A and B are shown apart, each in its own frame.
Chain A
C-alpha cells in the first residue's frame, strides 16, 4: 500500500468520521483536534526554535478566556471577541518572551514557569473574572461564516468537528510555510547553534519573542476552538500541567516534525480522557508517563521507530 493511498485513506476516514461514530465520540475528537492545534503551535517554539517554554498553556488559556470575557462580560459580538482572544494571548506571549529572553540559558525555562504559575494562581483566585474551576459558560451555539454556511457548536456537532479540522489544516499549512521561509531558517539556526546565530548578527532575542507571539496566536485559536466545542472555558485550560503535557506530546511526536506532535497530542489526550473516566488518580499516571518518556524515550517515538527499522531491514 503506497504512502499516498494511506494518506488519502486516513483523510477520507477523518472526513467520514462524524457519520461513523456517536456524537459523544465526535465531541471528544473535536476537542482532541483542538489540542492537536495547540501542540502544533508549540512545536514551532520547542521543535523548530529549541525554546523550552513552560508557559504555552498560559497562551492557550488566555486566548480562550479573552474570547470568553469578550462574549460574556463585554457582550461583544463573536469575531471581535475572537480577535480579543488572539490579541490577549499575543500580548501575553510578547510579555513572557520579552522578560524570558533577558535571562541566560536555563533562566528562560524558569521565567516561563514563573509566568505560567503566576497566571494560573491569579486565575484560581480571581474567580469573579474567571469563574474558577467552573469557568465561564459560552453560549455560542452557532457562528455564521458566510451566509448559508454555519458552524454549530453544540455537543457532537459535525460542523464543529470540520471547523476545527479545517483550522488545524490551515495552521499546519501556515506552520509549514513558516518553517520553509527565511524566518524558519533563522529559527532553526537558533536551535542549532545560538551563539553562531548571534555572531552572524541576528537579533536572537527578537526572533525568540516573535516565534512565541506567532505560536501564541495559533495556540489561542486552539484554545478558543476547544472552549467553543466544550461550551465553556475554565482555568484547566491555562494550567502548568497542560504546558507540561504539551511538552511531552511534542517530544513523543518528534520535535520539529509538526505532524508528529499533532498526532501525539490527539492520541494522548484521548488516552487521558479515557483514564480520567476510569479513576480520579489519573494524574499519577500522567506523572508516571512524563517520567517514563524521559527515561525510556528521550528522543521521542521517532527514535523507537528507528530502532525497529534497522532490525527489520537486517532480517529481510
Chain B
C-alpha cells in the first residue's frame, strides 16, 4: 500500500462520508425532533437515485438538471406520505412508527422492483476526468460530490442555528410541550423536519447514483450503515451524525484497502459496540 493509495481512499472516505451524513442527519433529525423512527429512510435515498435515472431517461438534458428534479420528487413523495398515511402515526409509540415506516419502505421497494425490474441501472458520470490535488489525481465527480455534500450539510446547519424554523426545531427538540405553549405551530415544524430529512436523503441518493449504481435494494443496503452512524453520533444530534458519517465513511474506505466490504462493515459495527461500552450516549455530548 502506497501513500497515494491511502490518500485516495481517504478522499473516497470523505465522499462516502458526506453521503452517509446526508442520510443519517435526516434520520437523527426526525428522531430527535419528532420521536419518529423512519425505517423507510433508505428507500427515500433509493428513490432519489431512481429519480435521477428516470429524469435522464425521459430526456432531461443534463444530470445537473435531473438532480434537483429528483430531489423535488422525493420531497413531494415524503410530504405526501406525511400528510396521508403517516399523519395518524405521528405521536404514537415508536413501535407503531417502526412498523408503519417499514411497511411503507417495503411497498416502495417492491413497487420500484415491479415497475423498473430487479436489475441495477447505471448512469454515466456527469463529470468525467480527474483533478490534480497535490500528489493525487482524483476523480472530478467524486470531488464535486464532496463539495456539494459539505455545502449542503453546512447550509442545513446554518438553517438550524440561525433561522426561525431552525430555532423552533431546536426548541421542539428540547421541550416540545413548552414550545407549543408558546404558540409555535408544532405540526408545521414537523412537516419542515420531515421534508428536510426526506430531501437530504433524496439528494444523497441522487449524488450516489453515478457512483454506486441504482437498484431497488440500495436503500436497504445502506440503512445498516446509516443507523450505525446515527448511533455513533448520538440519537438526535445533527453534528454527531455528520461527524459519525465522515468517520464511518473513512472506516469503510480505508478499511477496503485491506478488507472485503463486508468485513469493513463489521469494523464499523465493532466501532459502534466499542463506543457503546464507554460512551453510551454517542460520540459527542448532546449538542443542540
Tell whether any CB of A sits under 8 Å from a CB of B in the complex: yes
A103 touches B89 (CB 8 A): no
Number of residues on chain A facing chain B (CB within 8 A): 40
The answer to whether A109 and B106 touch across the interface, beta carbons within 8 angstroms, is: no
Q: Which residue on chain A has the smallest CB distance to residue B261?
A: A125
Contact flag A293-B99 (CB < 8 Å), given A104-B280, A298-B92: yes
Q: Contact: A287 with B105, CB < 8 Å?
A: yes
By beta carbon, the residue of chain A nearest B101 is A291
Indicate if B266 sits at the interface (CB-CB under 8 A).
yes
Within 8 A of B (CB), among A112-134: 113-114, 117-118, 121-122, 125-126
Task: Specify which chain A residues have a CB less than 8 angstroms from the CB of B276 in the assembled complex.
Answer: 99, 102-103, 111
For window 210-236 of chain B, which residues contact chain A by CB distance below 8 Å?
223-224, 227-228, 230-231, 235
A106 interface hit (Cβ, 8 Å) = yes
User: Is the Cβ of A248 less than 8 Å from the Cβ of B262?
Assistant: no
Q: Is the CB of A295 within 8 A of B89?
A: yes
Check if A107 is an interface residue, CB within 8 A of chain B: yes
Stretch at the interface among A8-16, A179-187, A218-226, A278-286: A278-286
CB distance from A135 to the nearest CB of B (A): 19
CB of A294 within 8 Å of the partner chain: yes
Contacts of B230 in A (CB 8 A): 110
A247 at the interface (CB under 8 A from B): yes
What's the nearest-Cβ distance from chain B to residue A47, in Å? 11
B88 at interface (Cβ–Cβ under 8 A)? yes
**Interchain nearest-CB distance for B232 vs A (Å):** 11
A134 to chain B, nearest CB (A): 18
Closest to A116 in B: B224
| A52 in the interface (beta carbon within 8 A) | yes
Contact B107 A288 (CB under 8 A): yes
Give every chain B residue within 8 A of A251 (Cβ-Cβ): 95, 99
User: Please, which residues of chain B bring their CB within 8 A of the CB of A105?
Assistant: 94
Which residues from 218 to 268 on chain A have a C-beta closer than 8 Å to any C-beta of chain B?
241, 244, 247-248, 251
Interface bin, chain B = 35 or more
Q: In the complex, are the beta carbons of B35 and A121 less than 8 A apart?
A: no
CB interface residues, A 80-121, toward B, < 8 Å = 99, 102-107, 109-111, 113-114, 117-118, 121
Tell me the B18-74 residues at the A interface (CB within 8 Å). Answer: 31, 35, 37, 39
Partner of B37, one of A46, A106, A290: A106
Which of A111, A284, A294 has the most C-beta atoms of chain B within 10 angstroms of its own C-beta? Answer: A294
**B85 with A295: CB separation less than 8 A:** yes
Complex Cα–Cα for A104 and B37 (A):
14
Q: Which residues of A contact B (CB under 8 A)?
A: 46, 52, 54, 99, 102-107, 109-111, 113-114, 117-118, 121-122, 125-126, 241, 244, 247-248, 251, 281, 283-284, 286-295, 298
In the complex, given contacts A46-B95, A295-B89, what are 14 additional A-B residue pairs having Cβ atoms less than 8 angstroms apart?
A99-B276, A102-B280, A103-B235, A104-B280, A107-B231, A118-B269, A121-B262, A281-B114, A283-B109, A287-B103, A290-B100, A291-B107, A294-B96, A295-B100
